């Protein structure tokens, strides 16, 4: 069947008409390369907690793919590592899985001796309605170790991020009220190591010690003592629910320090963070700020009028697109699986300059026909570079930004876009555009 590019573009909506994620269309019914199940997100989070055991409860297919994913992971310990399964059959689905779970858990504790356990429920468990919050509480009381239920039904969400968010938030139940110290927790880092970031280097420069890093790498004891921190640094939206709960119960403030690219926003986050820490702002931060501002001015002269399609990147989606629009760049299509009131400020900033089309992410197969209609200069995200080149489009590589925080994010982004824009001039000439 032939796909008509004009018809696909007509299915998209302008950003100005979007009020919720339900208003954002997808180009086809099938999502390519497909969305990741939240079960994957839960596994990623538990993998970063030493001493924790992941117990997947569900069909043999769900448990197989989870074990397959963790089999070669050093964080999980290989074939005999920290990922086990409780496979349900027709009898469990009909009469309930509680007896099997209790029997299996006794064997699991005897063999693995975990410091804590995450019972991760899959779609079938949520459909039949077994109460795994109650089961987790019963097992926790019976065995004297923290047992948390994490619900990962895929039919209620778009991707794997809810699995990460729910697993991180479940850790709250392990936290104890302890005396405060001068540490800072880092919440929400999904990729890379925090110690390689500019933010970490500035904290070390100021003599600040890092406490719990969830889910980037922590221990059960660090989670239990996480309430000792002076401040929580939230570097991704997935950690906001946990930070809010810790603030409500323990009075710990949090600083939202996402992967921002606006120099002013980064500078403000640094100032807020060091104010909570009660230590002077390192002199280097002001210098980094000025350098980033200069880079923005230079980039604005080179990037005005350059059009692009935004795919899936490590950056904070709408903040980044607002920043690029302020430089005079032209977002033609923004792909996203997230849209909430928190995005409203940046959406309004984008609309001051342009009104791009929007659609859901992970649709690169039908996107080929959109390229032929819109002829963007750049594609930001994961795509096939050789295929894009034939259409006169350069790809903006961004994965390295996953392990960056601070002004380094701005500088890296501008460098990558500037290089790609120069490549696009060549590609467009080759394509006759």
pLDDT per residue as tens digits for the range 103-160: 888 888 888 898 989 888 876 666 666 787 788 888 888 888 998 888 876 655 666 7
Give the residue, 426 or 433, on which the prediction is more confident.
426
Give the residue, 259 or 60, on which the prediction is more confident.
259
Q: Contact at 8 Å (CB) between 179 and 165?
A: no
Q: What pTM, to 2 d.p., does this model score?
A: 0.86
The full set of domains in the chain, from first to last, is 5-30+285-430 (3.40.50.1980), 38-174 (3.40.50.1980), 184-283 (3.40.50.1980)
Lowest mean pLDDT among 193-197, 290-294, 330-334: 193-197
Tell me, what's the pLDDT at 184? 95
Q: Is 211 helix (H, G, I), strand (E, B) or coil?
A: strand
Tell me, what's the pLDDT at 32? 46
Q: pLDDT digit string (tens) for 231-262?
A: 999 998 889 999 999 999 999 999 999 899 99
Give the residue, 296 or 23, on which the prediction is more confident.
296
What is the rounded distance in angstroms from the CA atom of residue 125 to the CA atom of residue 310?
A: 36
CA 420 from chain centre, in angstroms, equals 25
Give the residue, 330 or 18, on which the prediction is more confident.
330
Give the residue ranges of DSSP H helices in 186-226. Answer: 198-205, 220-224
- Give the residue-averaged pLDDT of 272-276: 96
What is the pLDDT confidence band of residue 161, given thresholds at 50, 70 and 90? Answer: confident
Tell me, what's the pLDDT at 366? 83
Q: Contact at 8 Å (CB) between 278 and 222?
A: no
Lowest mean pLDDT among 48-57, 95-104, 266-275: 95-104
Peptide bond into 150 cis (omega under 30): no
């Amino acid at each position: 069947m032939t796909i008509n590019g004009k018809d696909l573009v007509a299915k998209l909506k302008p950003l100005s008409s979007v009020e919720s994620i339900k208003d954002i269309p997808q180009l086809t019914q099938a999502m390519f390369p497909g969305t990741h199940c939240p079960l994957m997100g839960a596994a990623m989070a538990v993998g970063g907690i030493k001493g924790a055991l992941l117990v997947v409860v569900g069909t043999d297919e769900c448990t197989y793919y989870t074990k397959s994913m963790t089999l070669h992971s050093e964080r999980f310990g290989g074939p005999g590592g920290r990922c086990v399964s409780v496979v349900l059959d027709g009898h469990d689905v009909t009469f309930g899985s509680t007896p099997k779970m209790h029997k299996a858990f006794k064997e699991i504790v005897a063999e693995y001796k975990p410091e804590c356990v995450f019972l991760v429920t899959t779609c079938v468990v949520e459909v039949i309605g077994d109460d795994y919050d109650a089961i987790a509480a019963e097992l926790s009381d019976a065995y004297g170790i923290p047992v948390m239920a994490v619900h990962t039904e895929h039919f209620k969400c778009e991707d794997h991020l809810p699995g990460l968010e729910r697993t991180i938030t479940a850790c709250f139940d392990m936290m104890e009220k302890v005396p405060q110290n001068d540490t800072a927790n880092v919440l929400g880092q999904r990729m890379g190591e925090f110690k390689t970031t500019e933010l970490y280097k500035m904290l070390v420069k100021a003599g600040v010690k890092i406490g719990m890093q969830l889910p980037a790498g922590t221990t059960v004891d660090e989670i239990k003592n996480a309430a000792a921190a002076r401040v929580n640094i939230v570097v991704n939206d997935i950690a906001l629910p946990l930070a809010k709960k810790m603030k409500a119960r323990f009075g710990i403030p949090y600083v939202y320090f996402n992967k921002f690219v606006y120099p002013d926003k980064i500078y403000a986050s640094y100032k807020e963070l060091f104010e909570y820490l009660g230590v002077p702002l390192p002199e280097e931060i002001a210098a980094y700020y000025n350098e980033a501002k200069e880079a923005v001015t230079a980039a604005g002269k080179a990037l005005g009028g350059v059009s692009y399609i935004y795919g899936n990147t490590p950056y904070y989606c709408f903040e980044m697109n607002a920043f690029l629009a302020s430089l005079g760049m032209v977002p033609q299509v923004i792909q996203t699986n997230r849209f909430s009131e928190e995005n409203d400020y940046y959406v309004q900033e984008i609309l001051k300059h342009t009104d791009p089309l929007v659609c859901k992410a992970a649709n690169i197969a039908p996107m080929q026909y959109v390229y032929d209609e819109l002829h963007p200069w750049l594609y930001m995200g994961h795509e096939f570079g050789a295929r894009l080149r034939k259409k006169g489009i350069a790809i903006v590589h961004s994965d390295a930004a996953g392990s960056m925080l601070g002004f380094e994010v701005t500088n890296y982004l501008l460098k990558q876009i500037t290089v790609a824009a120069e490549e696009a001039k060549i590609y467009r000439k080759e394509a006759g555009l």
